[in-house]
Amino acid sequence: MKRIALVVLALALPSAAQQYAYPAKGQSPEQQKKDEGECHGWAMKQSGYDPSKPPPAAAPAQTAPVTGSGARARGAAAGAIIGGATGGDAGDAAVAGAVGAAAAQRGANRRAARDQQAAASQQQQAGQASFQKARAACLEGRGYTVK
């Protein structure tokens, strides 16, 4: 379900598609080049996004080591208590509890890394959209039709 929502969100956001500016008031190619350069700079200031220097891509998701999280120790303690209370082998139950807790912690780490990557991607797309909107506003204010 989460993947479907991310795909829908990605489709709803504007892509980094090329914008085209038509000189609706007969501006010369030289004037258009000057206007586009000035509007590019203005759009960067307004949006805080520079399309020639996009933020670096997020590193591939890496799971943090479980060591030091306390998950194994808590799992082992819970397993030993349950094993002792049910008349089973507390040692085996402690091992099973530690393994289960470590696996759960790794899963949580993977989910957190995936969510962080999705947030970074959404932030970059929002920056691109903001830049394009500001650039289009500037060019339209100077008499261009922007698509």
pLDDT, tens digit (0-9, with 9 covering 90-100), for 79-106: 656 665 566 666 666 666 667 777 777 8
Confidence check: pLDDT of 4 > 50: no
Kindly state the percentage of the chain with pLDDT values over 70.
59
7, burial (CB in 10 Å: exposed 0-12, middle 13-18, buried 19+): exposed
pLDDT given at position 24: 95
Confidence check: pLDDT of 6 > 50: no
Residues in the chain: 147
Confidence check: pLDDT of 28 > 60: yes
DSSP string, 51-93: TTSPPPPPPPP-PPPSTTSSHHHHHHHHHHHHHHHTTS-HHHH
- Is the model more confident about 65 or about 87? 87
Which residues share a beta bridge with 138?
A: none
Confidence check: pLDDT of 40 > 90: yes
Kindly state the percentage of the chain with pLDDT values over 90.
37
Confidence check: pLDDT of 133 > 90: yes
pLDDT given at position 8: 37
Confidence check: pLDDT of 1 > 70: no
DSSP string, 89-137: -HHHHHHHHHHHHHHHHHHHHHHHHHHHHHHHHHHHHHHHHHHHHHHHH
pLDDT given at position 29: 96
pLDDT given at position 129: 94
Least confident piece of the model among 39-43, 109-113, 133-137: 109-113
